[in-house]
Amino acid sequence: MNEENQVYFIDSDTLPPEALKRKHRLEQDPSSRIDHMKYLEGMQVIDSDIKDRVLDAIAGYDCDSFTAADVERALSHESCSVRDFQALLSPAAAPYLERMARKAESLTKNHFGNTVYIFTPIYIANYCQNYCVYCGFNCYNKIRRKKLSMEEIEHEMQVIADTGMEEILILTGESRVYSDVKYIGEAVKIARKYFRNIGIEIYPVNVDEYRYLHECGVDYVTVFQETYDTDRYETLHLLGHKRIWPYRFDAQERALLGGMRGVAFSALLGLADFRRDALATGLHAYYINRKYPHAEISLSCPRLRPIVNNDKIGPKDVGERELCQVLCAYRIFLPFAGITVSSRESESFRNGIAKICATKVSAGVSTGIGDHEEKYEGSEGGHAASDAGDEQFEISDGRSFARMYADMESGGLQPVLNDYIYV
């Protein structure tokens, strides 16, 4: 990461003195922090070698060692090996972006036809017990906190369902105190009344808890590893259960052991070396798929976005060309995997990438708490209710579901809302 792409700490002059003192101690004194590679009490340890395989692979990855000949060979192969994937992520592949895009487009059409799935996220609480320096929800950021009641959750979901949406992703801040597993499970039961496909993006939990959430109605689990660089991870996650890197890494595998149908993987590009993080994300999904071939696998590729109280955050070394390269490399390496491109990206980028390799886009997005009715009834960009909780980050593409559907159709794609039949 270059000097321009540093992550800025939250400006917290308004913190209470004791909280401010603790924050400074965490930032300045590494010895005051818990070991980020050791499990805490209550965290389930599973027997798996996938973590070590991914770490070994990224430790040995020298992206500058690849040449144009390596990229040519990768693009000529019918199937993409791990070494081919490494070459396609390297700087040497940048001049081949158009060829990568053509190959990615062909593979996408072979596996997914001309379809693009549309879903929306709903944040039901933004309380958090982690101190992640790049996130708007972090426990030291002075924002409006809110946790929706079951009545509010049902109202929000009904508003969303009335637009025609059939898939929803439920998110919370990472707080077991304010958003415990039972609370999330009850929200999922409400969602099952309105939606055909339900995902969750919450704090990692143990196998039995994933099994309970699956029984409540969850179909798939998304977990952002944020960065696979364990040293960089330690400097970005200073407090809370999220600080424990290996417990987060194994979350998808625990979810599958708990009966989930699908799992999604992601690094937040811009936190560390994006090429290594992209390699690790792809390999994480690849090794999980080889071990659990029945599982539905998908990838996301978010970039850093500005947050409340900090408009300086941004992935300055990951432009749209670099993002396109990563996404095309994902498709060529994992032709069967779903690829989601979120509202963090611009309207024009999402319109274009959906024709090449993305299979899923969000619409009608709010990363705030409890403002869907006001957003949907207001202008295209929407506005928050006065008692709504603050957003996790700023979005770039604020299109409504109806407009997203129309735009995908006019671009020659077939929007899909759900392709599952429950019997």
Per-residue pLDDT tens over the stretch 78-107: 999 999 999 999 999 999 999 999 999 999
pLDDT > 90: percent of the chain: 72
For position 308, what pLDDT does the model report? 53
Locate all alpha helices (DSSP H) within 32-180, ordered by sequence.
Answer: 50-59, 68-76, 82-89, 97-112, 150-161
3-state secondary structure of 119: strand
Residue 163 CB partners (closer than 8 Å, separation 6+): 364, 376, 400, 401, 402
Residue 1 confidence (pLDDT) above 90: no
> How many Å apart are CA 29 and CA 329, to the nearest integer?
39
For position 25, what pLDDT does the model report? 78
**The two three-digit tokens of residue 193, written as one number:** 């009344």
Give the pLDDT confidence of 151-184 residue by residue, as tens digits.
999 999 999 999 999 999 999 999 999 999 999 9
Residue 260 confidence (pLDDT) above 80: yes
Residue 371 confidence (pLDDT) above 80: no
Residue 154 CB partners (closer than 8 Å, separation 6+): 190, 193
Give the pLDDT confidence of 297-349 residue by residue, as tens digits.
999 999 876 655 555 556 668 899 999 999 999 999 999 999 999 888 999 99
For position 312, what pLDDT does the model report? 56
- Comparing 17 with 81, the larger pLDDT belongs to 81
The least confident of 114-123, 124-133, 259-268 is: 124-133
For position 373, what pLDDT does the model report? 65
Task: Report DSSP letters for 381-410, one per residue.
Answer: T----TTPBPPSS--S----HHHHHHHHHH
Cβ contact 215:149 at 8 Å: no
> How many Å apart are CA 317 and CA 337, to the nearest integer?
26
Nearest to 200 by CA among 226, 174, 178: 174
3-state secondary structure of 367: coil
User: Mean pLDDT throughout 115-143?
Assistant: 89
3-state secondary structure of 264: strand
The CATH code belonging to domain 13-37+47-416 is 3.20.20.70
3-state secondary structure of 212: helix
Length of the chain, please? 423
Radius of gyration of the chain (CA): 21
Confidence band, pLDDT 50/70/90 cuts, at residue 32: confident
The least confident of 121-125, 225-229, 310-314 is: 310-314
For position 35, what pLDDT does the model report? 94
User: Mean pLDDT throughout 262-267?
Assistant: 98
Burial of 162 (0-12, 13-18, 19+ CB in 10 A): exposed
Cβ contact 223:264 at 8 Å: yes
Nearest to 241 by CA among 277, 280, 206, 190: 206
Confidence band, pLDDT 50/70/90 cuts, at residue 203: very high
